[in-house]
């Protein structure tokens, strides 16, 4: 009975909090979201502060490797925590290695946040998902001008709502080539490791992955509307047709040799 009473009290507080929460702005879709800018160049000379307080440019962070980039803020009570946890779950089972095969970068959109905020999030994620190798990630903060320049480059729209002092923004990852070109977007907070692997293999231009990955990329195409890979039926049929022609040609050639031998 006491447990039921406690649950009811908690529920009433939750309903009351929802009742007093500000309504979403009417122009939310126009002010917060992703504008896909595939092929756009990110200014790699932009520098941000790491969780240890050291300043590094995106070019230094990339070090010749593709980048998985996300933007948000560490004190976010909603989406950002889900993005970071979704990313850590994907990294825990990804066969490619963060810090060696590619770089993981999270940049805070809140200029008031400090490296200590990034360090707190990094420690929390490392405890919850050790296999994600969060210690090899780059959780960063920066000046408002540099943060806005990065956001514009990848088409990430956000704004600070003065009614609750929280940022409104979208959720997703952006994959960059080693040179800073936007190659793909993965939307939401759930990132299938297979899709993320293919995105990184594609962004590396053949430096990552093996023959199987290259064959899958030949048969699958990136769909910008969903941020996922899908099977290209036309391309598969072409491969089947070519394979059938090769087999048929080999049979004809073999029969021809048998007749001549006879």
Residue 101: CB atoms within 10 A of its CB come to: 18
Distance in angstroms (rounded) separating the CA atoms of residues 36 and 28: 17
Per-residue pLDDT of the chain (262 residues; tens, 9 = 90+): 434 333 333 433 343 343 445 566 656 666 789 999 999 999 999 999 999 999 999 999 999 999 999 999 999 988 899 999 999 999 999 989 999 999 999 999 999 999 999 999 999 999 999 999 999 999 999 999 999 999 999 999 999 999 889 999 999 999 999 999 999 999 999 999 988 998 999 898 877 755 454 555 455 555 555 555 554 433 333 433 434 445 545 565 566 566 676 6
Q: What is the secondary structure of 65-78 as a DSSP string? A: S-EEEEEE-TT-SS
- Note the pLDDT of residue 227: 52
- Note the pLDDT of residue 206: 76
Distance in angstroms (rounded) separating the CA atoms of residues 197 and 216: 11
Domain coordinates in residue numbering, the chain: 26-206
CATH number of 26-206: 3.40.30.10
Residue 128: CB atoms within 10 A of its CB come to: 14
DSSP 134: G
- Note the pLDDT of residue 208: 73
Q: Exposed/middle/buried for 151, CB within 10 Å: 0-12, 13-18, 19+?
A: middle
Nearest to 52, CA basis, from 112, 118, 98: 118
Q: Where are the beta strands (DSSP E) in the chain?
A: 33-34, 47-49, 55-57, 67-72, 103-108, 138-140, 156-161, 166-169, 172-176, 182-187, 220-223, 228-231
- How is residue 23 written in tokens? 């309504």
- Note the pLDDT of residue 92: 95
pTM of the model: 0.74
Its sign, for the CA torsion 221, 224, 230, 235, is: negative
- Note the pLDDT of residue 112: 96
DSSP-derived 3-state class of residue 162:
coil
- Note the pLDDT of residue 242: 38
Distance in angstroms (rounded) separating the CA atoms of residues 28 and 163: 14
């Amino acid at each position: 009975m006491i447990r039921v009473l406690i649950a009811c009290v908690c529920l009433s507080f939750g309903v009351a909090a929802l009742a007093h929460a500000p309504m979403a702005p009417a122009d939310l879709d126009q002010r917060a979201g992703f504008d896909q800018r595939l092929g756009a160049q990110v200014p790699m000379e932009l520098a941000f502060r790491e969780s240890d307080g050291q300043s590094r440019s995106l070019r230094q962070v990339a070090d010749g490797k593709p980048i998985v980039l996300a933007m948000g803020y560490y004190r976010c009570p909603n989406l950002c925590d889900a993005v970071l946890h979704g990313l850590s779950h994907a990294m825990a089972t990804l066969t490619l290695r963060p810090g060696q095969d590619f770089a993981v970068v999270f940049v805070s959109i809140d200029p008031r946040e400090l490296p200590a905020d990034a360090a707190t999030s990094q420690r929390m994620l490392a405890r919850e998902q050790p296999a994600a190798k969060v210690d090899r990630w780059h959780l960063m903060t920066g000046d408002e001008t540099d943060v806005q320049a990065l956001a514009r480059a990848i088409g990430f729209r956000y704004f600070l709502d003065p009614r609750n002092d929280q940022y409104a923004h979208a959720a997703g990852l952006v994959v960059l080539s080693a040179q800073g070109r936007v190659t793909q977007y993965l939307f939401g907070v759930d990132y299938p490791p297979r899709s993320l692997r293919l995105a990184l293999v594609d962004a590396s231009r053949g430096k990552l992955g093996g023959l199987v990955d290259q064959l899958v990329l030949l048969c699958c195409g990136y769909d910008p509307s969903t941020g996922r890979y899908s099977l290209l039926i036309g391309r598969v049929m072409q491969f089947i047709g070519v394979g059938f022609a090769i087999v048929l040609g080999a049979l004809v050639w073999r029969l021809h040799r048998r007749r001549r031998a006879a």
